[in-house]
Chain A
Amino acid sequence: AQTVTQSQPEMSVQEAETVTLSCTYDTSESNYYLFWYKQPPSRQMILVIRQEAYKQQNATENRFSVNFQKAAKSFSLKISDSQLGDTAMYFCAFIYSGGGADGLTFGKGTHLIIQP
């Protein structure tokens, strides 16, 4: 079974700074997808960014980018020019590309606080 580890329970940065959230995972599969989800306080979880394991190019979405290191099984999220609205729980998640029947496997999350 796959596991996802987020080693930073909480991080705090000043507004406009850049912050990197770490994620490592363990799997014997070679084809899979990785995601970062954001869960604001009392609001629903939304997708931030997605990476297909077969793609070498790192995914980017505006201020959000990932550093995907397949050999190291590492998938970090970089948030540039952080904003107050980025304050939330961030979850790294994994799913096999061969079948989504088991759903997403999530890490425990990182609580990101953006200070004004």
Chain B
Amino acid sequence: DTGVSQDPRHKITKRGQNVTFRCDPISEHNRLYWYRQTLGQGPEFLTYFQNEAQLEKSRLLSDRFSAERPKGSFSTLEIQRTEQGDSAMYLCASSSRMNAEAFFGQGTRLTVV
């Protein structure tokens, strides 16, 4: 296992378009997190899955954002009707148990033009 992988690494999209990102966690990890990181800031929590169940969503996650984790394996994060303010690095992390070390992917950098 090579760790948490995210695809794509970079995405440029026009305002108003929909985008979808994928995260493949470490295979034995049942916890999966999505974070958003803007320039000069630390990552901010977006949402959390335990297996296939989405247990928590930040108020940062507007109705235009949706995340899924079918079968408790990979996860997708979709942003509909993108806005320039959505431009950020989207990070995925996974862990094996509560409060264990979180392993991060390299992130997907989204630019909305």
Contacts and interface: CB of A to CB of B under 8 A. Distances in A.
Interface of A: 4, 33, 35, 37, 43-47, 50, 91, 93, 95, 97, 99-109
B65 interface: no
15 contacts: A35-B101, A37-B104, A43-B106, A44-B3, A45-B91, A47-B101, A93-B42, A95-B99, A101-B56, A102-B45, A104-B43, A104-B102, A105-B45, A108-B41, A108-B42
Interface string B65-98: 0000000000000000000000000010101001
Contacts of B106: 43-44
Contacts of A97: 98-99
B33 interface: yes
Contacts of B42: 4, 91, 93, 106-109
Given A102-B58, A109-B42, 6 more contacts: A50-B101, A101-B48, A101-B56, A103-B56, A104-B33, A104-B102
Nearest to A97: B99
Interface residues of B, number: 26
A44 B99 contact: no
Contact of B98 (A4, A35, A45, A100): A100
Contacts, number: 60
A95 B41 CA distance: 18
Nearest to B5: A44
Nearest to B55: A101
Contacts of B41: 108-109
B25 interface: no
A59 B41 CA distance: 26
A103 B45 contact: yes
Contacts of A44: 3-4, 104-107
Given A33-B99, A91-B42, A107-B42, A102 B56 contact: yes
Contacts of A99: 98
B98 A46 contact: no
B45 A104 contact: yes
